Structure 1
Amino acid sequence: MTANLLILFSLFASYVTATALTYSVAANERACFYAQVDQPGYKIAFYFAVQSGGSFDIDYSVHSPSLKVIVSGEKERQGDFVFTGNEVGEYRFCFLNEMSTFAEKLVDFEIAVENEVRAELPIKQAGGTEDESSTLDNSIHSLSGKLTSISRTQKYFRTRENRNFSTVKSTESRIFWFSIVEVLAIVGMAIFQVFVVQFFFTGSRKGFV
């Protein structure tokens, strides 16, 4: 079953629109998400990370409105891409779990559309000097870059935490079932030894000892 979720973005100059979702991609499923670009030249950022399921990998592809493949990959655990949307229309972001026959994949992803046009600072409108406005402008964008870096670091640690937790759960499950098999083997061996002893020491078979 193909699950398609339509995500429409309203774009305005000097504004950023984004969506962050966590989606469970079932086995043999192709899940696609869409972002609308109304004008050419917008920056589109695409980030994803597989949180759990299988080997923590998935196939993905990004298509332009004309169905041209912009970026794609196979069996990737995570990705972070930024490209310019030169075409107007819907950009398609797809996750493909078709190589998996039973394991579903939990994917955390974010799609952001940004207009590169910067808003005019109030200091410019008030008649401030060029140096003052330039310094303030650089400081604002420096802080913006640092916040983006912090956000990416938090997502990275979240992904590592989820993967490590999934690995611990898998290890605990294997230890549990291995212990069950070991106990059953010991009990089976004990019962087998009892029957062997009874076989040699019961009735007419005593002469074989």
Structure 2
Amino acid sequence: MAKFAATTLTYKMEPHERACFYVTAKSAGEKMAFYFAVQSGGSFDVDYDVMGPKGNEILSSTKERQGDFVFSAPDPGEHSFCFSNKMSTFTEKVIDFDITAEHEQGISSPVAQELAKKEEIKKDIKPLEECITRLSDTLGGVQKHQKYFRTRENRNFDTVKSTQNRIFWFGTLEAFSLVVMGVFQVFIIQTFFMKSGKARV
């Protein structure tokens, strides 16, 4: 088990090997970044664990292909970042990893460079983000209006259908009433003339 100063490395692990790398946090709460990716070997997986200065476990997992973590150091002191290839009987693993601490300003690691690039990109695309936000808000308003008009359309369509049904049934009832009244009038007139004929005889 070797002790190394932590930085960006590519490390080849032999079968059954456990390798640890160390970085020192100068104060509690210091931000630490830990990234790794298995580049070759077996199922491209490895066990890892991160331990604090007092032996407390911070991160741990088995058979992981890659990981990207940022955490606050619980205590000042030396933190260990260990990889284990004990599950492999014959296969060696090649691991790319990067460990950085907040105070390590001289290390130009891919993680630090990537963060710097992201900050620069954020500054450059801020006007674009604001424009997209405004456009998103406008589209949201348009969608709300569409939903409102669709609701109004559905309600008006239901009102029209209800009115059409009422007109149909009212017209049907009116026609039926006219027929009934006509038949009744014919019956009354026929009865009147029949009674009048009998009275004359």
Quote the residue 2:155 is aligned against. Answer: none
Cα distance change, pair 83–52 in 1 and its aligned pair in 2 (3 A) = same
Which residue, 88, 95, 99 being the options, matches 2:87?
99
**Over aligned residue pairs, what C-alpha RMSD do you find?**
2.2
Is there any run of 5+ residues in structure 2 with no aligned partner, and where?
104-114, 122-201
Quote the residue 2:37 is aligned against. Answer: 49
Which residue, 15, 24, 27 being the options, matches 1:39?
27
- Which residue identity does 2:25 align to in structure 1? V
Quote the residue 2:4 is aligned against. Answer: 6
- 1:144, distance to aligned residue in structure 2 (A): 2.4
Cα distance change, pair 148–54 in 1 and its aligned pair in 2 (3 A) = farther
TM-score computed with the length of structure 2 as normaliser: 0.52
- Which residue identity does 2:19 align to in structure 1? A
* Sequence identity percentage: 53
- Which residue identity does 2:96 align to in structure 1? D
Quote the residue 1:144 is aligned against. Answer: 116
Structure (1 or 2) with the greater strand fraction: 1
Distance 2:23 2:54 in 1: 14
Which residue, 97, 100, 103 being the options, matches 1:112?
100
Cα distance change, pair 79–103 in 1 and its aligned pair in 2 (3 A) = same
- Which residue identity does 1:5 align to in structure 2? K
- Which residue identity does 2:116 align to in structure 1? S
- 1:38, distance to aligned residue in structure 2 (A): 1.7
- 1:87, distance to aligned residue in structure 2 (A): 0.4
Q: Report 1:1-209 matches (<5 A).
A: 2=1, 4-7=2-5, 19-115=7-103, 144=116, 146=118
- Which residue identity does 1:78 align to in structure 2? Q
- 1:90, distance to aligned residue in structure 2 (A): 0.5
SS for the counterpart of 2:118 is helix
- 1:5, distance to aligned residue in structure 2 (A): 2.8
TM-score computed with the length of structure 1 as normaliser: 0.50
Number of residue pairs the alignment of both structures matches: 111
Query: Is this contact kept in 2: 1:27–1:98, CA < 8 A?
Result: yes
- Which residue identity does 1:41 align to in structure 2? G
Query: Is this contact kept in 2: 1:20–1:111, CA < 8 A?
Result: yes
- Which residue identity does 2:3 align to in structure 1? L
Q: After the TM superposition, which of the residue ranges 34-43 and 103-112 deviates more from structure 2?
A: 34-43
Quote the residue 1:192 is aligned against. Answer: none
- 1:6, distance to aligned residue in structure 2 (A): 2.3
Distance 1:107 1:30 in 2: 13
Is there any run of 5+ residues in structure 1 with no aligned partner, and where?
9-18, 116-142, 150-209
- 1:39, distance to aligned residue in structure 2 (A): 1.6
The CA deviation string for residues 101-155 of structure 1, in whole angstroms up to 9 with x for no partner, is 110100000001014xxxxxxxxxxxxxxxxxxxxxxxxxxx8261699xxxxxx
Cα distance change, pair 26–20 in 1 and its aligned pair in 2 (3 A) = same
- Which residue identity does 1:85 align to in structure 2? A
The CA deviation string for residues 43-73 of structure 1, in whole angstroms up to 9 with x for no partner, is 0000000000001000000000011110111
SS for the counterpart of 1:144 is helix
User: Whose radius of gyration is greater, 1 or 2?
Assistant: 2
In the TM superposition, structure 1's runs of 4+ consecutive aligned residues that sit over 4 Å from their partners are none
